[in-house]
C-alpha cells in the first residue's frame, strides 16, 4: 500500500514538473540556437549546434542593457518604498486602535482588486501633465501603489503574531517606542518583511501594461516592455533566439533572489498561517 502511494506520488510529481518546467527548458534551449536553426522550419528540442552568439548579441545591445538597468532601478526603488510604507502602516494597523481602521484595510484590498488596465488611460494623461511620463518615478509610483495593499496585509498578519508583551517588555527595559520597534519588532517581523519585499519586487519586475504605456524611450522602459520591441529586421522572421535569451537573462535575477531568500520566504509564508 505504502509502496503504491510512493509510486503515485512520484508519477504525479514528475508530471507536474514536466508541465511546469518544459516551457522553461524550451526557452533555455532556444537561447542557445542560432538564427539559422530557429528559422529552419523543423526545430528540434535540443540545439543541434549550441552557440553563445545570442548572449553575446543581447549583452552588447545598448537598448536591452538600458532596459535592464531601468528594471533594476525601478523595481528596487518601488520595493524599498513599498516595504517601508507597508511596515509602518501595518504596524499601526496591528497595534493601534483608531477610527477607520477597517476602512483603511478594506480600501487597501479594493485597490488590490482594481484592474491595472483601467488605470492606464488616466495615468497616461496625468503623467503627461505632471511631467512624469517616461520617467522612473512615473513607474515607481504606480508599482508602489499596486503592491502596497498586499504588503500591508502580509505584514499586518505578521505584526499581529508578535505578542504585545514583547514590545512592552522592551519599553519597561528602557526602550523608547521607536527603539522597541526597531530592535524588537522589526527583527521579529523580518520573515514578513522579506516576503512582502519579494512579492513586490516580482510584481515590479514582471509588470508589462504600465511599463509599455507610460514610457516612450529606453530612458525609462523596463525589460518586459523592451522585449516587445525585439522584432528584428524581417517581420516574417522574428529573432526567437534573442527573445528567448532576453527572457533567460531577466529570469536569472528572480531565481537568484528566490534561492537566496528561500528559507526566509518559506518561513514567512507558513508562519503567518499557523501559530507557532
Partner 1 sequence: MAAIEMKNIVKQYGDGFPAVNDVSIDVEDGEFLILVGPSGCGKSTLLRMIVGLEDITDGDMVIGGKKVNDLAPRERNLSMVFQNYALYPHLTVYENIAFPLRLAGKSDSEVDEKVREASKTLELDEHLERKPGNLSGGQRQRVAMGRAIVRDAEAFLFDEPLSNLDAKLRGQMRTEISRLQKRLGITTVYVTHDQTEAMTLGDRVAVLKRGVLQQHATPRELYENPANLFVAGFIGSPPMNFLPAKVDGNRVELPFGTVTIPEDRAAKAQGKDLLIAGIRPEHFEDASVVDSDKVTDEATFKATVDVVEWLGNEAYAYIPFEAPDEVRKQLAQLEKDLDGESLRTQLVVSLDGASRISEGDEATIWVDARKIHLFDPATGENLTIDADNAGIIPGGNAMAKAEEVGKEQDEVKPSAESSAT
Residues at the site binding partner 1, with contacts judged by CB under 8 A: 163, 165-166, 168-176, 179, 183-184, 187-188, 190
CB of 186 vs partner 1, minimal distance in Å = 10
Task: Kindly tell me which of 135 and 171 has the beta carbon lying closer to partner 1.
Answer: 171
CB of 263 vs partner 1, minimal distance in Å = 15
Task: Kindly tell me which of 187 and 233 has the beta carbon lying closer to partner 1.
Answer: 187
Residue 1: is it exposed, middle or buried by C-beta count within 10 angstroms (0-12/13-18/19+)? exposed
Task: Kindly tell me which of 19 and 178 has the beta carbon lying closer to partner 1.
Answer: 178
CB of 66 vs partner 1, minimal distance in Å = 41
Residue 240: is it exposed, middle or buried by C-beta count within 10 angstroms (0-12/13-18/19+)? buried
DSSP string, 171-234: HHTT--HHHHIIIIIHHHTHHHHHHHHHHHHHHHHH--HHHHHS--STTT--HHHHHTT---S-
CB of 96 vs partner 1, minimal distance in Å = 13
CB of 194 vs partner 1, minimal distance in Å = 14
Residues contacting residue 70 through CB under 8 Å, at least 6 positions apart = 136, 218, 219, 220, 221, 222, 223
Cα 54 to Cα 2, 59, 126, 222, 249: the distances in Å are 49, 9, 39, 20, 11
CB of 183 vs partner 1, minimal distance in Å = 8
Cβ distance 71 to 56 under 8 Å? no
Q: How far apart are the first and last CA of the chain?
A: 33
Cβ distance 230 to 13 under 8 Å? no
Task: Kindly tell me which of 30 and 180 has the beta carbon lying closer to partner 1.
Answer: 180
Task: Kindly tell me which of 56 and 183 has the beta carbon lying closer to partner 1.
Answer: 183
Task: Kindly tell me which of 145 and 271 has the beta carbon lying closer to partner 1.
Answer: 271
Amino acid at each position: 500500500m505504502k509502496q503504491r502511494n510512493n509510486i503515485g506520488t512520484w508519477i504525479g510529481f514528475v508530471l507536474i514538473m514536466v508541465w511546469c518546467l518544459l516551457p522553461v527548458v524550451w526557452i533555455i534551449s532556444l537561447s542557445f540556437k542560432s538564427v539559422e536553426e530557429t528559422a529552419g522550419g523543423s526545430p528540434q528540442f535540443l540545439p543541434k549546434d549550441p552557440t553563445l552568439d545570442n548572449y553575446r548579441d543581447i549583452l552588447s545591445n545598448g537598448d536591452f542593457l538600458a532596459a535592464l538597468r531601468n528594471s533594476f532601478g525601478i523595481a528596487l526603488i518601488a520595493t524599498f518604498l513599498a516595504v517601508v510604507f507597508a511596515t509602518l502602516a501595518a504596524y499601526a494597523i496591528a497595534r493601534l486602535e483608531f477610527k477607520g481602521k477597517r476602512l483603511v484595510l478594506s480600501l487597501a484590498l479594493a485597490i488590490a482588486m482594481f484592474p491595472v488596465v483601467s488605470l492606464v488611460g488616466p495615468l497616461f494623461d496625468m503623467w503627461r501633465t505632471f511631467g512624469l511620463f517616461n520617467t522612473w518615478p512615473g513607474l515607481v509610483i504606480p508599482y508602489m501603489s499596486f503592491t502596497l495593499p498586499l504588503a500591508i496585509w502580509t505584514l499586518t498578519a505578521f505584526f499581529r503574531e508578535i505578542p504585545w508583551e514583547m514590545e512592552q517588555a522592551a519599553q519597561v527595559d528602557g526602550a523608547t517606542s521607536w527603539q522597541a520597534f526597531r530592535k524588537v519588532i522589526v527583527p521579529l517581523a523580518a520573515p514578513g518583511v522579506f516576503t512582502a519585499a519579494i512579492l513586490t519586487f516580482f510584481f515590479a519586475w514582471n509588470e508589462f501594461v504600465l511599463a509599455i504605456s507610460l514610457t516612450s524611450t529606453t530612458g525609462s522602459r523596463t525589460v518586459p516592455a523592451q522585449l516587445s520591441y525585439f522584432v528584428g529586421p524581417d517581420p516574417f522572421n522574428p529573432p526567437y533566439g534573442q527573445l528567448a535569451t532576453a527572457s533567460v537573462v531577466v529570469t536569472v535575477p528572480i531565481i537568484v533572489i528566490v534561492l537566496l531568500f528561500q528559507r526566509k520566504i518559506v518561513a514567512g509564508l507558513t508562519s503567518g498561517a499557523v501559530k507557532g
